[in-house]
Chains A and B, each alone.
Chain A
Amino acid sequence: GNSVTQMEGPVTLSEEAFLTINCTYTATGYPSLFWYVQYPGEGLQLLLKATKADDKGSNKGFEATYRKETTSFHLEKGSVQVSDSAVYFCALSVLYSGGGADGLTFGKGTHLIIQP
């Protein structure tokens, strides 16, 4: 089956620090990869995505590269801000060669805390 593994945290960093949140996956079919962010009391927001190997998704200073050889999609940001404090979810969706797709499969989420 499909699965996503990510560090759960909490991850605590100081403002302006470099951020990496690791995400690895197993999938049948042809996965597309996503990072979602959830702020307290809100639903999930799509942060970035990549739909094929070696694609790099980027948004709001965050980046992640689809690495098929290591089945990874690590999230990075060069300089974090207090406003980046949230829970980050890595997710995948699999397209099947015969058509159709599964719903999103999520990791457990990583709680990120940025201290001023």
Chain B
Amino acid sequence: KAGVTQTPRYLIKTRGQQVTLSCSPISGHRSVSWYQQTPGQGLQFLFEYFSETQRNKGNFPGRFSGRQFSNSRSEMNVSTLELGDSALYLCASSFGPSEVLSYEQYFGPGTRLTVT
């Protein structure tokens, strides 16, 4: 079974631009979560989608948004990019929503975003 895939793997953008990252979960998984990883702040939860609905949201500004499609694929968008948005963005999928703890999260390799 194929793992979680994220595209693109690397991205360079200029301050003020916007960016869209894509995540394809493991086949059959309906929950997708997004995390930001930086050297200073570590791993921080962005949001979770289950069955096309946002269920949880971390403490990030409204410039960070996401959506999930009927096939469970998810995208996250960052508008008006800032230098501090440079990070590794990780996507994780699970069969069910986060409150069902027996459903383990499987992480993708991440998208490395550099903002110049």
List the interface of chain B (C-beta within 8 A of A): 4, 33, 35, 42-48, 55-56, 58, 90, 92, 97-99, 101-102, 104-110
Contacts and interface: CB of A to CB of B under 8 A. Distances in A.
B107 to A, nearest CB: 4
The residue in A43, A44, A102 that gathers the most chain B C-beta atoms within 10 A of its C-beta is A43
B56 A93 contact: no
A43 B101 contact: no
A35 interface: no
Given A43-B4, A99-B99, 10 more contacts: A43-B90, A49-B101, A51-B101, A93-B98, A101-B101, A103-B98, A104-B35, A104-B45, A104-B105, A106-B44
A103 B56 contact: yes
Nearest to A41: B109
A5 B99 CA distance: 23
Contacts of B99: 95, 99-101
